[in-house]
Amino acid sequence: MSLNYLLVTLLSTAARSQWKLPAVSVRPCNCSARVYVYDLEPPLTDPGYGEAHNPFHRRPDTPGPWDPNEQGEHMYALTSILEYRLRRSCCRTTDPEEADLFFAPIAPRPRERASLYFELCQSGNLSAKSVRLALRHAREPWRACRHFFSLPHHYHFEQCGGWFAHPKPPYELMMRVGYLHSITPSLERRVRAEALNDHTAKRSHLWKDLSKVSSNISSTYPNLISVPYPSVHWSSGQTRAGFSPPWEREQHGLDRPVISPTMLFVGSAAHGDVAVRALVVKQCEAHPRCTVSPWRGGASLLDKQRAVFCLEPSGDSPDRKSVSDDVAMGCIPVFFSAISSGLAPWFWAAAGSAGGGYVLIEREPFLAGNVTLESELGRMPSARVAALGHAVTRVAHGFQYSIDDDPGDAVDVLLTGLHKMADAQCPHHTHQQP
């Protein structure tokens, strides 16, 4: 057992006794990467965050047939979740020489309104100079390329220039984690052509999506990686023993009918890709095995657990927290945008094949009436439905942000990918022997 592991364990124990945080089970350390976590001061961090903050404090609105120790969390709490996990991880190191990755938990407090992020950047508190002074191990290129930030939506930090947006050396080498990433030029050309032919509105919703994921943002926000939204959170080890996760439907007495499968849309046609959403609602309401429902908290999670297909037309942006809820409940997501289905590729990879674990109904043919919910889902061969369901089960664990170290969960998948990415892009460096 390493000195760093003992130190982190002792610090975690002291922190829990002072702030009454949930107990962290001590388990053998199987690290995807050794991570150095910066101790930042305001204004780079938020008052009350850091070592003292526990993001895993909320419960689902309605208790469901899953682990009673399950925790719910704010959809924009990505940074505070990562900070909480990594500070208490046996993979944390306080020695920069040992670190494979460096995490800078900047602005961890969830902010629901975009204006709050703009104000934060425009205030000058998150200037490139202040970030440079705080990230003292990022001054050499061979270490800068191992640093990463996590901010839910990159476009909210457009005013944070010099380090996050339009970064200057060495920040252009750092990795950025959020819910969106830039699409490939070939996909962008395809979506642009579709947007030009889209006459369902004065201005196609696709232009709004493209403004957030176009290929040219890769120069504004280099090394941008997309991850799933937090949905259902599991504490691993002893807390989960004896309980089956909700995506293992058979363990909860729920089957997944592969013949005459059911469909569910949780949402409305009042926002997002209104053209697609309105048609989804129209076809769903006319279909005997399809249900339209507003979001009802924990009750909607139970609805998802009973449905076979969960319909996910684009919302205000191509990413949807609802997709993470689908996967957690074992429901097969159905996308109507290639942008949406292309997000979080590291996390879908566990499905075993490209396109595994979800269905993509092409937007243009759907709006033209060439395909329908019935033709693509209602009449899907039973073997295909079963295969998709098994693929969702394979990826589900990797979509969950567990409370403590949990090999294969979303944090582990992220660290594995970041470690590989850093190894591939970092300049070679040989440690000098004293």
Residues 373 and 300 in one domain: yes
- pLDDT tens figures, 204-254: 999 999 999 999 899 999 999 999 999 866 666 545 556 778 888 777 777
Residue 71 counted as domain residue: yes
Whether 307 contacts 262, CB under 8 Å: yes
Q: Which pair of tokens denotes residue 34?
A: 């050794």
Does the structure show a pLDDT above 80 at 117? Answer: yes
Partners of residue 292 on adjacent β-strands: 265
Q: Closest by alpha carbon to 293, among 276, 271, 279, 310?
A: 310
Residues 155 and 293 both lie in one domain? no
| Interatomic CA distance for residues 69 and 40, integer angstroms | 31
Q: In angstroms, rounded to a whole number, what is the distance separating the alpha carbons of residues 330 and 9?
A: 34
Question: Are 277 and 351 contained in the same domain?
Answer: yes
Is residue 197 in a domain?
no
Residues 82 and 102 grouped into a single domain? yes
Say if residue 332 is in the same domain as residue 379. Answer: yes
Q: In the prediction, which pLDDT does 233 show?
A: 62
Task: Please choose, from the candidates 375, 306, 370, 362, the residue with its C-alpha nearest in 3D space to the C-alpha of residue 334.
Answer: 362
Cα separations in angstroms, 236 against 75, 324, 398: 21, 19, 13
- For residue 245, with 0-12 CB atoms within 10 Å meaning exposed, 13-18 middle and 19 or more buried, which class applies? buried
Q: 62 pLDDT band (50/70/90 cuts)? A: very low
Amino acid 286: pLDDT: 97
CA distance 310 to 296: 15
State whether 127 and 34 are in the same domain: yes
Task: Report yes or no on 360 lying in a domain.
Answer: yes
From the list 49, 54, 51, the residue with the least C-alpha distance to 22 is: 54
- Give yes or no for residue 24 having a pLDDT over 50: no
Alpha carbon separation from 72 to 68, 81, 220 (Å, rounded): 11, 11, 33
Question: Distance between terminal CA atoms of the chain?
Answer: 25
Structural domain includes residue 147: yes
Residue 306 shares a structural domain with residue 356 = yes
Alpha helices in 62-180 (DSSP H): 78-87, 114-122, 128-134, 141-144
More confident residue, 26 or 271: 271
pLDDT tier at 265 (50, 70, 90 boundaries)?
very high
- Same domain, yes or no, for 259 and 330? yes
Residues 354 and 370 grouped into a single domain: yes
What is the residue range of 148's domain? 3-179+227-231+402-425
Instruction: Give the model's pLDDT for residue 353.
Output: 78
Pair (382, 288) in one structural domain? yes
Asked, as a colleague might, if the bond just before 294 is cis with ω within 30 of 0, I would say: no
Structure confidence at residue 72 as a pLDDT band (50, 70, 90): low
Tell me if 203 is assigned to some domain: no
The answer to whether position 97 is within a domain reads yes
Is 130 domain-assigned?
A: yes
Ranking 115-124, 288-297, 307-316, 331-340 by mean pLDDT, the lowest is: 115-124
Count structural domains, the chain.
Answer: 2
**Letter string b/e over residues 37-51, b meaning 16 or more CB atoms within 10 A of that residue's CB:** bbebeebbbbeebbb
pLDDT digits (tens, 9 = 90+) for 320-372: 999 999 999 999 999 999 999 999 999 999 988 777 899 999 999 999 999 99
Q: Report the pLDDT averaged over residues 59-88.
A: 70
Ramachandran assignment for 174, one of left (phi > 0), alpha (psi -120 to 50 degrees), beta (any other): beta
Q: 101: helix, coil or strand?
A: strand
| Average pLDDT for 392-421 | 93
> What digits encode the pLDDT tens for the residues 161-214?
999 999 999 899 999 999 999 999 999 999 999 999 998 888 899 999 999 999
The DSSP element (H or E) to which 17 belongs, if any, is: helix 3-19
Is 111 in the same domain as 259?
A: no
Q: Count H helices and E strands in the chain, helices first.
A: 17, 12
232-233/224-226 β-pairing: unpaired
Same domain, residue pair 116 and 251: no
Lowest mean pLDDT among 242-251, 315-324, 389-398: 242-251
Largest CA distance in the chain: 75
> In which band, very low, low, confident or very high, does the pLDDT at 266 lie, cut at 50, 70 and 90?
very high
State the Cα–Cα distance between residues 14 and 285, nearest whole angstrom.
Answer: 55
In-domain check, residue 210 = no
47 near 227, Cβ under 8 Å? no
Return the CATH number at 274: 3.40.50
